[in-house]
Structure 1
Amino acid sequence: MIVKHKFYDECVKKFLDNEILIIGTFNPNIQNNEANFFYGRNRNYFWKILPELWNEESLKGKDINIKKNFLEDKKIAITDLILCIEMKESQINSFKDDNISNVKKWNTDNIIDNLKCSNIKKIFFTRKSFNKSTNFLKMEICKIKSYCESNFIKFEFLPTPSRYANEKKIKEWKELIFNDNTIKKLF
């Protein structure tokens, strides 16, 4: 069964005026996916972690327009690496990485094309580690990382916002996002 990204139109949207791009993996458009926006599932703490970096209150569970306003105010764009996958019927209710490995359409080329005409200065991928079940992601994200390195755009891997949010994770996000050791062009 072919499963498209729940926020497909948002994924392929241009991010011309943003300075930060955060890339996730995939949010399936399936019946039991209660997310109202990127990183919107119950076990994901993105909307708690991100606002805290600016000393603002959690947006977890808040209205989508409040989240979009926050992103616009901070010049942050969000997208995902995968646009479409094929899943077995028996996997439909699972959000495990193993179940998204049969990718039918990547967002990689679209992301790189958008970067060519954007103001993005920093890119963050919300996964820091890879294992056998997630190595398929590594090759695609490394294409984006390579483009960034060639074009003096900072690229970092963030700890996943899934499962929990604690002071250590928030501190690491803050250090990575606000560290201005961006790659400088050599003149």
Structure 2
Amino acid sequence: MVQGEEQEKRVCVRHKFADHGLNPAVETIILGTFNPGHEANKAEFFYSSPRNQLWRLLPGAFGEQDLRRAQLAEKLEFLSRRRIDFVDLIFEVEVGEGRECDRPDAYIDSRVTRWQDVISELETLQSLRQVCFTRRGVDGIPNMRSRIEEIERYCGRRGLVFKRIVTPSGAYRREDKQSEWTGFFNPHDDTD
């Protein structure tokens, strides 16, 4: 329990896409943190909140159209064709009542009740070549940092590329996000 929350009513929140099954043919995993499974969270899939830029950056890396407003079926077709999938670090958190949709990593880091077994998930992917974590810095999130470092070591032992990439979150603005995403996902980009 976090100091100052002793009297606060606690609520368990499971990951919204906890039942997402990985495509066994993927070559690239995008590793995130958490997407709260609460009725107020209207996201239909990973990284689908309105301010998140992933569905612009990821297709843009391949010279394809922005998928932020696309139907889920179109996003899934893109992922299948490009052999990309998602997994997040956290399966469940316990937070104060009224904070079920709070996503800041610094808030949820000490409130994790169940971690996703990411390494076990990765071990099932025989075609996997690379993993990227959608956050560069890990200051202020010691529990997540420990998990990320463990996954990074696993990738090294298996000969997989592991990269911490600039976040697609719309809260963080940077002009060269697209070039970094293209460099990771499509290093031989010939769309120019």
Structure 2 length normalisation: TM-score?
0.85
Tell me if the contact between 2:132 and 2:163 (Cα under 8 Å) persists in the aligned partners.
yes
Amino acid in structure 2 at the alignment position of 1:26: F
Runs of 4+ in 1 over 4 A off after TM superposition: 164-167
Give the aligned length.
Answer: 175
- For residues 95-106 of structure 1, the aligned pairs below 5 Å read 95-101=103-109, 102-106=111-115
Identity fraction in percent: 32
Q: 2:94 aligns with which of 62, 70, 86?
A: 86
How far did residue 167 of structure 1 move? 4.5
8 A Cα contact 2:93 2:108, kept in partner? yes
Q: How far apart are the structure 1 equivalents of 2:138 and 2:89? A: 15
Q: Is the partner of 2:93 in helix, strand or coil?
A: strand
Which of 34, 56, 63 is the equivalent residue of 2:71?
Answer: 63
Amino acid at match of 1:136: N
- Does the aligned pair in 2 maintain the 1:52–1:58 contact within 8 Å? yes
Pairing partner for 1:8 from 18, 25, 48: 18
Query: What is the match of residue 157 of structure 2?
Result: 150
Q: In the alignment, is the contact (CA less than 8 A) between 2:34 and 2:103 conserved in 1?
A: no
Worse-matched range after superposition: 21-30 or 159-168: 159-168
Alpha-carbon separation, structure 2, partners of 1:138 and 1:94 = 19
**SS in structure 1 of the partner of residue 143 of structure 2:** helix
The structure with the largest helix share of the pair is 1
**Unaligned 5+ runs, structure 2:** 1-10
Q: Matched residue of 2:38: which SS? A: coil
The structure number with the bigger radius of gyration is 2
Residues 65 and 152 of structure 1: is their aligned pair in 2 closer, same or farther, counting only changes over 3 Å? same
Shift in CA distance, 95/14, structure 1 to aligned 2, threshold 3 Å: closer
Residues 54-90 of structure 1: CA deviation (Å, up to 9, x unaligned): 1111100221111000000000011111111101013
Q: Is the 8 A contact 1:3 1:86 kept in 2?
A: yes
RMSD value, Cα:
1.7
